[in-house]
Amino acid sequence: MHNREEKRESKIWLSRCVLRLSKFYTFSRYLISYQSNGDSKLVWIWTENKQVMTTAVERGWSTFIFDANSADLAKDWSSIALINPLYLKDGALLDTENRSVASFFQISSPQQLEQMLLINDSENTVIHLLDWQVIPAENIIAAIQGNDKRVLAVAETAMEAQNFLEALEHGLGGVVLKVQDIDPVLKLKEYLDRRIETKNCLTLTKATVNQIHMAGMGDRVCVDLCSLMKPGEGLLVGSFARGLFLVHSECLETDYIASRPFRVNAGPVHSYVAIPGGKTCYLSELKAGKEVLVVDQNGQQRTAIVGRVKIETRPLVIVEAKGSSSDQSSYSILLQNAETVGFVSPPEEHGTQRAAVPVTSLKAGDEVLLRVQGGARHTGIEIQEFIVEK
């Protein structure tokens, strides 16, 4: 009798384990969508356009939502591409074996949102916000923080998707892109690739200053960002794309001028500046709304939006530096000759140091940080081509 009871309990325990593994497997099939690219955000596609489907699959997104009227479409697409179809039925998203993967809610009022948060105990939820978007998304993030629930929102443009993924800085767990043309798919993929790019450190090298001299007057650019920078951060700028100097922000306090932690006095209009996607553009091309890369002395990078650009005529100084012993190339940059303008100092293993070296106190032998990369550029994109710059 005792052995029979033990066997019964063992069978119950085993069946529970199988059920949990089944649930995990069911959702993990759809979790691959963007974790495979190093990001924890999900992207599912809701479309009836075959070109959108193929474009999404080519970019690694294989989970598609079908409503009651498009079940035949799911079968057709499954015969030509490896996709994970989900079927919308009675407020749930079901897989091909009729198992629930996520709950589904349409929200058109604050009351419905509050009710959904109260009654919904699903681990995974897709919401379709029919009116406001950003504020409800923020409310959801605040309500589910600290637990394992994942919420995806239906977006009909790449910009809507970006809003959902950035709400309250952390963003929702993913998006369902409901579109009928490929442009939003391409834009969302480009945006998510930039997110991943900023998680990787850039390789910065030390360069030794060998010349500093006055260069006369020129039109220099102050780049004011919609983000605050801290000591050790700045923009990558240079006269040659093959080597960009890390120019410090004006976040440090001085005796004569207040801190401006949103600003980098970046140099004259001809200079290159690093932007997302491994690209560069000229400082003269920057304008409100454009993105640039903010980098610190350890190579950590993030994107920031330009809020304003100021171009004014100021006295300039030219700085020339040599690379490391294995790289004897010469690099140069022009900057305004002012105490608030300087370079980010290389990090040191021991002791304290200044975060920035002003150009007004720079001398031969000082070390600065440099981003060495390919020299030839076409519209800001690195290309393999013979080029001489001096």
Q: Is 249 exposed, middle or buried (0-12, 13-18, 19+ CB in 10 A)?
A: buried
Rounded CA-CA distance 173/151 in Å is 5
Yes or no: say if 107 and 126 are a contact pair by the CB < 8 Å rule.
no
Yes or no: say if 273 and 180 are a contact pair by the CB < 8 Å rule.
no
Closest Cα partner for 343 from 332, 355, 334?
355
Pull the structure tokens for residue 347.
């990090």
Q: Quick one: pLDDT at residue 389? A: 63
Helix (H, G, I), strand (E, B) or coil at 322: strand
2-197 carries CATH number 3.20.20: yes
Instruction: Write down the mean pLDDT value for the chain.
Output: 84
Q: Which residue has the higher pLDDT, 51 or 70?
A: 51
Closest Cα partner for 129 from 93, 155, 90, 151?
155
Among residues of the chain, what percentage have pLDDT more than 70? 82
Give 37's pLDDT tier (boundaries 50, 70, 90). very low
Q: Which residue has the higher pLDDT, 359 or 21?
A: 359
**How do the domains of the chain map onto residue ranges?**
2-197, 205-382
Q: Residue 134: is its pLDDT beyond 80?
A: no
pLDDT, tens digit (0-9, with 9 covering 90-100), for 99-131? 999 999 998 888 888 888 888 878 889 999 887
The residue-averaged pLDDT of 167-180 equals 90
The residue-averaged pLDDT of 353-364 equals 85
pLDDT, tens digit (0-9, with 9 covering 90-100), for 362-383? 999 999 999 988 655 445 455 5
The residue-averaged pLDDT of 141-155 equals 83
The residue-averaged pLDDT of 287-301 equals 93
Q: Give the amino acid at 22.
A: S
pTM: 0.66
Yes or no: say if 60 and 70 are a contact pair by the CB < 8 Å rule.
no
Q: Which residue has the higher pLDDT, 222 or 118?
A: 222
